[in-house]
Amino acid sequence: MNIFYSEAHRKHSPPYEIFDGGHRVPYLESPDRIDRILNALKKTDWANFVETTDFGLDPIIAVHDQDYINFLASCWTEWLDSDPEVAASPEAHAFLPATFALRRKPRLPTTLLGKGGYYIMDLSACIVEATFTAALSSANCALSAGQSIANGSSSVFALCRPPGHHAGKDYAGGYCFINNASVAANWLSAKGKVAILDIDYHAGNGTQDIFYERNDVLTISIHGDPEFEYPHYIGFADETGAGAGLGYHHNFPLPKGTDESAYLSVLDEALNMIKKFAPSYLVLSAGMDTFEGDPLGTFKVTHNGFTDIGKQIAALSMPTVIVMEGGYANEALGINTVNLLESFK
């Protein structure tokens, strides 16, 4: 199996994020996550690491708002230039706004902090010096994987970091800046119908936002119920698309403590929807935070459960781009990722 990966992800390493209640904690979405996966993949006899292609900004602008991408590109430099005292303060290590826009068609602010609150939805999407560079390289991993299956590969893994599925058309959130899976899916949609299946523990709000009014890309997300889980405001079962996209989006919000058997049953239902849609390509947003020991999840999927998940999805026998999303039980992350991927090789 070809694995698309870039070392540029290491340059995005914020020193902290802010949890509920205002607690400043070490950044969970760290480079160590990818090292665990790399180490596990290198122990297999089927992982073939491939250089990524630089696709430029056009495939990204096709999914994301141009002004939003401009903000990501210039934010760090503007932040350091905005005030001489900033460079000497703890906040020089990460840009985060303190005020956030209520999305009732607010006016786009002219100040940097105002733009930050407009384009960032939470306190985990910290921007540091090379965040934009890392996000571009992550998107190129997904695009390179998409190009690979368009050229005839049966399945490819995009080892993306930062992840992407919480990034909407014009906002960052949940460690995500560019929606890698959506960028790849949109690129592939010019060649045939595409289905996106999101199995990350958290709802793929950004992917839902991007494709909600389209019928050429079927989007499905299986996740913790937003009644109790991040991102809280999106991912409910009655959100099924709008306009031309009505009926082409499906959320499966699940209760706390969902066990492996219940999860696999819901997955089977989602896969039947994909079969009915009959896409030319599948993009899998693969989060490992459904694992029973994940610090940001409540589900009870085991190591063997990821093997079963992989088998069920691979049985579709569909050209598949597997895009890395979340997963924060780092000691188990390599094992779970390899277990998922083995059925696709």
pLDDT digits (tens, 9 = 90+) for 87-104: 666 556 889 998 898 766
Catalytic residue among 12, 64, 165, 166: 166
Arch. (CATH architecture) of 2-64+131-344: 3-Layer(aba) Sandwich (3.40)
Tell me whether residue 223 is one of the annotated catalytic residues. Answer: no
pLDDT per position as a tens digit, 52-77: 999 999 999 999 999 999 999 999 99
pLDDT tens-place values along the chain, 345 residues long: 999 999 999 999 999 999 888 888 999 999 999 999 999 999 999 999 999 999 999 999 999 999 999 999 999 999 888 776 666 665 568 899 988 987 667 788 999 999 999 999 999 999 999 999 999 999 999 999 999 999 999 999 999 999 999 999 999 999 999 999 999 999 999 999 999 999 999 999 999 999 999 999 999 999 999 999 999 999 999 999 999 999 999 999 999 999 999 999 999 999 999 999 999 999 999 999 999 999 999 999 999 999 999 999 999 999 999 999 999 999 999 999 999 999 998
Q: What is the pLDDT of residues 146-174, one digit of tens each?
A: 999 999 999 999 999 999 999 999 999 99
Query: What's this model's pTM, rounded to 2 decimal places?
Result: 0.96
Q: Can you give the pLDDT at residue 91? A: 57
Q: Write out the chain in H/E/C secondary structure.
A: CEEECCHHHHHCCCCCEECCCCCEECCCCCHHHHHHHHHHHHCCCCCEEECCCCCCCHHHHCCCCHHHHHHHHHHHHHHHHHCCCHHHCHHHHCECCCCCCCCCCCCCCCCHHHHHHHHECCCCCCECCCHHHHHHHHHHHHHHHHHHHHCCCCEEEECCCCCCCCCECCEEECCECCCHHHHHHHHHHCCCCEEEEECCCCCCHHHHHHHCCCCCEEEEEEEECCCCCCCCCCCCCCCCCCHHHCCCEEEEEECCCCEHHHHHHHHHHHHHHHHHHCCCEEEEEECCCCECCCCCCCCEECHHHHHHHHHHHHCCCCCEEEEECCCCCHHHHHHHHHHHHHHHC
